Amino acid sequence: MARSRASRQRLAGGIADAVIILIAATAAYAARFEFGRGGAPDLPSWFVVLVPAAWLGALALSGAYSLPHLQTGTTEFQRVTVASVIFAGTVGTFNYLADYDLSRAFFLLTFAIGVPSLLALRYTRRRVLNRLHSRGLYRTSVVISGDPTHIDEVARVLRREKWLGYEMVGAVTSAEIEETPGGLPVLGSVDDVARLVQETEVQTVIFAEGSFPDSQHFKRMAWEMEEHAAHMIVVPALTDISANRLSTRPVGGLPLVHVDRPQAMKASRWAKRLFDVVGSSLLMVLALPVVAVVALLIKLEDRGPIFFTQTRVGRRGEQFECLKIRSMVVDAEARKAELEQRNEGAGVLFKMARDPRITRVGAFIRRFSIDEIPQFWNVFRGDMSLVGPRPALPKEVAQYDRDAVRRLDVRPGLTGLWQ
């Protein structure tokens, strides 16, 4: 039941997006050729079919069709925008390399119309769904697991935030009671969750504190939820999970976390690498004016070097030189020993709220993460990824325990843990 409903939602979303893309292309074609100067060329049939299909594929790879009821508008809009920009860059690059005579005005108009239309469609759909949910329509059946007190805490939020669209069927807990103090009927223990999902129309299970005695039980339950295609939401304080598998949404002061599948498959790896190459190439070009202005400001401030490199540890323990825009004084490393007693970081990390080594330009570029822009080159080279754990220093890796070493199984990223 859960699998079929999720499939229908993804199919409906894909069809709606396909219609929007075709309308955008038609409008751009009319604006460029029918109402513009010159004759209207015939578009090849492969272009009419392949480009919309590839655009939809880019949206799917970005996660634009995964769990729309759990995503905030910002997250969903970001995924659509980033996927569309990268796809546009890919088409533009192909057009240049293949020397295909595609009208640039038509190309730009298609994306200028298509992207805002895709975002407007999602905004409208979300507003309509929220209103339907508030009226008790099109709701998702949910079971809450955990200690009775924590179950009631989650239930209070779901009752108050009706627009989320959750219909509470009952609770599962190890306590031998017929209902929670808040009046939610108890349907069994946590071991009965898989059976409830299989035999009833339960589509989502929320695991609050007290659901599992240890992480092994949690992993086993995650596998069972995956087998039955049920959505799994974890209220934090349960276990430690890689951040790239988590989608967090705070609701009424209660942080809800969705656990995605591990992205370790070969198809995911090459798709992510393609995403990194195209994305970093496009972003480097777009960021050139910003880097030029910052470089001028740095030279005017202290005439020191614009960039600096630092040895970091990448995938499989291989070291690489991480490139950044210099945000500190030239002798920052030499002055570090003087400030060691004021270190506010944990372990080998050195952090200070007001580090005197940071220059005025450095404070500004750090605030907006402009100093990280050169790392797009590291992403393009394959040292890093756009998304992944923070690239660690060699002395940090030397102190890793057995679990932490698993971070080296993937490429470090511009955005990720510890950043």
Take residue 201 and report the two structure tokens written for it. Answer: 């129309």
Greater model confidence, 258 or 16: 16
| Residue 418: predicted pLDDT | 43
Q: Which of 5-14, 63-72, 172-181, 225-234 has the lowest mean pLDDT?
A: 63-72
Q: What is the pLDDT of residues 283-326, one digit of tens each?
A: 888 889 999 999 999 999 888 899 989 899 998 889 999 999 99
pLDDT attached to residue 11: 83
Say which range, 103-107, 325-329, 336-340, has the weakest mean pLDDT: 336-340
CATH code, 140-259: 3.40.50.720
pLDDT of residue 338 exceeding 80, the answer is no
3-state secondary structure 241-282: CCHHHEEEEEECCEEEEEECCCCCCHHHHHHHHHHHHHHHHH
Q: Which DSSP string corresponds to 86-151?
A: HHHHHHHHHHHHTT----HHHHHHHHHHHHHHHHHHHHHHHHHHHHHHHTT-SPEEEEEES-HHHH
Query: 41-65, pLDDT tens digit by residue?
Result: 556 666 667 778 888 888 888 877 7
Whether 5 has a pLDDT exceeding 70, the answer reads no
Q: 257: Cβ–Cβ under 8 A, 6 or more apart, which residues?
A: 233, 234, 235, 236, 246, 247, 248
Domain ranges of the chain: 2-134, 140-259, 266-415
Please give the residue that has the higher pLDDT: either 129 or 36: 129
- DSSP string across 292-347: HHHHHHHHHHH---SEEEEEEE-GGG-EEEEEEE--B-TTHHHHGGGGGGG--SST
Asked if residues 387 and 362 have their Cβ atoms less than 8 Å apart, the reply is: no
pLDDT at 280 over 60: yes
Determine the average pLDDT of the residues in 61-83.
Answer: 71
| Contact by Cβ (8 Å): 294, 392 | no
Average pLDDT of the residues in 81-96 = 83
> Which residue reads 């209207």 in tokens?
40
How many other CB atoms sit within 10 Å of the CB of residue 13?
A: 20
Q: What is the pLDDT of residue 321?
A: 93
User: Rounded CA gap, 297 and 278, in Å?
Assistant: 29
pLDDT at residue 181 tops 80:
yes
Buried b (16+ CB within 10 A) or exposed e, 113-127: bbbebbbebbeeebe
271 contacts: CB under 8 Å, gap ≥ 6:
61
Q: What Rg value do the Cα atoms of the chain yield, rounded?
A: 25
Write the CB contacts of 217 (distance below 8 Å, at least 6 apart in sequence).
Answer: 190
| Half-sphere exposure in the Cβ direction for 239 (13 Å, CA) | 21
Please tell me the total number of residues recorded for the chain in this structure: 419
CA distances from 401 to 241, 350, 386, 411 (A): 16, 20, 25, 18
Nearest to 257 by CA among 207, 198, 203, 310: 207
Q: How is residue 405 annotated by DSSP?
A: G
User: Is the pLDDT confidence value at 69 over 50?
Assistant: no
What is the arrangement of strands in the sheet containing 166-172, beginning at the earlier edge strand? 186-188, 166-172, 140-145, 204-207, 231-234, 254-259, 246-251
pLDDT of residue 64: 78
pLDDT digits (tens, 9 = 90+) for 193-246: 888 888 887 888 998 888 887 777 878 888 888 887 788 888 865 445 555 566
Q: Classify residue 185 as left (phi > 0), alpha (psi -120 to 50) or beta.
A: beta
Q: Are 276 and 386 in contact (CB under 8 A)?
A: yes
DSSP state, residue 178? S
Distance in angstroms (rounded) separating the CA atoms of residues 305 and 328:
11
Contact 380, 284 (CB under 8 A): yes
Phi (first) and psi of residue 203, to 5 degrees: -110, -20
pLDDT band at 133, cuts 50/70/90?
Answer: confident
pTM of whole model > 0.85?
no
CA distance 368 to 364: 7
346, pLDDT greater than 70: no
Query: Tokens 């119309």 belong to which residue?
Result: 113
Instruction: Identify the residue with better confidence: 407 or 150.
Output: 150
**Is pLDDT above 80 for 192?**
yes
Q: Summarize the confidence of residues 135-149 as an average pLDDT.
A: 88
Element (H or E) spanning 361, and its range?
helix 360-367
Residue 332 has pLDDT above 90, yes or no: no
pLDDT of residue 201: 78
What mean pLDDT is reported for the chain?
79
